[in-house]
Amino acid sequence: MERSLDATNAGLAQRRADLELSWPAWTPRTFAQHLDHCAERWPDNIYIESTGQSWTYRDMAAYSRRAAGAFHRAGIGVGDRVALLMGNSAEFVAMYAGLTRIGAIAVPMNYLLGPEEMRYVLDHSAPSIVVLDCEIAGRDVATVVRSTGAFESDGPRLVVRSGLPRFEPWTAWDDLFSEDASAPDAESPTAPCAIMYTAGSSGTPKGALLHSDAMLREAYGTALTRGYDTGWSSLTALPSFHLFGLAQCILPATFAGGRVILRQRFDPKEQLETIAAGAASDIVVVAAMAHRLIDELATFDRTAHPGWALRSVFIGGDAMPEADWQKVRDAFGVDEVTSGFGMTELQGTAFMVPPGSSNEVLANTVGWESTAGCAGIAARDGAEHEWRLVDPDSGQMVAPGEIGELQYRGPSVSPGYWRVDPETDTSRADGWFRSGDLGRVREDGAFVFTGRNSDVYRSGGELVSPREVEALIASLPEVGATFVVGVPDRRWGQVGCAWIVPAPGAHPDPDTVIAHCQSRLARYKVPKYAFLIAEAAVPVSASGKFRRRGLVDLAAERLAEQTLSVPE
């Protein structure tokens, strides 16, 4: 293995050097300007492959210009919002680019949300147009959209790209779309180009403002760290409404004229068949997907497929033990295994475990600070961010090796949140963004993530705010109080566990509570477990404050005896 890793590192260094020669200086661009530049360099290279169609860089640039013209004729201008409630597709990427041409702001929406959650995002972002795919990955999104009630009066204009919504009024995208590509060109790479909603510690989703220059800097950093080269082809089913899929897969490919194979639904067998056919040299997944692929490989003989040319794997999301990382190497037959750590507000990754790193580093750290060469901070040797660790209470820098809160600043940090006054934004302090992530730095410089300063947990790669789930459960009359915590789960990384304090004289049924959540929340937010607990048994500190960690420990004990779960 050591010999193999040495070879990997040597080849990686050469690929990085070639990429840096290809991009000797950084030029700030909007996504549309960058796409046009790539179309000039690699006009006939396939950029996006989805739904059985292949789109070259020339195709994508042309479609984005026509999309910009369509939105412009529909009255969309600088600063106007357009919600994209769409599945993974070339059209999504091209529309996203097209909106940056006219200075509009894209709002990629999570199609897994329930009606109330979706209505909040629509009301908060106030888009002029919502572009809809009626059915996405087997989900009847049109019915959910109708249930929001947002289109009954003076709401946004509904434009349907695919399917029939079975309610009025709506406009077909094909009727809006035409050959006319005339539209004014926006020229500000640092103006807001997107709002992405992320789970907040307050329980209310927050809309992080993103801009093209930062996202492209982060994407170039990923391409440089992983050593993208000619012929790079990434396969992913990560949803485009999340920054992970966009910043770590769709955008990085553009710096090498590479290809992205998009899938709307994650199907382990289909993914392996795609790789076996020689279509993909790289896959980008979260840990939950990686486990399912490994399970599928137990009955899939990759050695029987001569087209198998996979050479790299990027796994984000939840932590995995050393043994699982070795399973990844063995199952896929790759040495280039990468992991990353970031957040929406950073418009990409903050730390990355580069290809060729050991299983110990992958399992116990999130790697070293991300670098982006010419796209990074020149005074810091190309680092993507300036960061520090501080005591979250005192605000003072912590000593080496001690745990502190990660704070960031730099050109890739989000300028703020949509409709949040900068003067009252508590996530900013003296020019630094307070991430809420806690950790320490090892002697080798690798960062060790130790937890959140808030109570948010991650399930299957998705952030879940306990307060949002708690508020829903607490609305039941038989519930006196409730506490939701994240507990370890092999498949999903973490899942929810709801502790329910009965209202006086009431006898709530845990199964009914879970069913209530299922009817109103996205699947990944629904607690897998629910237990009753007496108010006097809720763990508190000496000062009387609720100890969430105590309920996590109590859940571990209870799960050994009794489990009430949502069927898989």
In the chain the domains, ranked by start, together with CATH numbers, are: 1-28+199-454 (3.40.50.12780), 51-188 (3.40.50.980), 457-559 (3.30.300.30)
Q: Which of 197-206, 327-336, 426-435 has the lowest mean pLDDT?
A: 197-206
Considering the entire predicted model, what is its pTM?
A: 0.84
What's the rounded mean pLDDT across residues 134-160?
92
Confidence class for position 31, pLDDT limits 50, 70, 90: very high
Q: pLDDT over 90 for what percent of the chain?
A: 72
Amino acid in the structure at residue 338: T
d(CA 469, CA 475): 10
State residue 542's pLDDT score. Answer: 45
What's the rounded mean pLDDT across residues 337-344?
94
**In the predicted structure, residue 566 carries a pLDDT above the cut 50:** no
Confidence class for position 8, pLDDT limits 50, 70, 90: low
| 422 vs 100 pLDDT, higher one | 100
Confidence class for position 186, pLDDT limits 50, 70, 90: confident
Average pLDDT, the chain: 91
Confidence class for position 90, pLDDT limits 50, 70, 90: very high
**In the predicted structure, residue 106 carries a pLDDT above the cut 70:** yes
What's the rounded mean pLDDT across residues 123-136?
97
Amino acid in the structure at residue 392: P
Confidence class for position 3, pLDDT limits 50, 70, 90: very low
Quickly list H helices, 1-46.
2-22, 31-41
Q: Exposed, middle or buried by CB within 10 Å (0-12, 13-18, 19+), for 391?
A: middle
State residue 183's pLDDT score. Answer: 79
State residue 4's pLDDT score. Answer: 41
Taken in order 45, 59, 105, 122, the sign of the CA dihedral is negative
**In the predicted structure, residue 74 carries a pLDDT above the cut 70:** yes
Confidence class for position 122, pLDDT limits 50, 70, 90: very high
Tokens 């829903």 belong to 472
State residue 565's pLDDT score. Answer: 47
Candidate ranges 164-178, 183-197, 219-233; pick with highest mean pLDDT: 219-233
Q: Exposed, middle or buried by CB within 10 Å (0-12, 13-18, 19+), for 294?
A: middle
Please say whether the beta carbons of 563 and 526 come within 8 A.
Answer: no
State residue 545's pLDDT score. Answer: 59
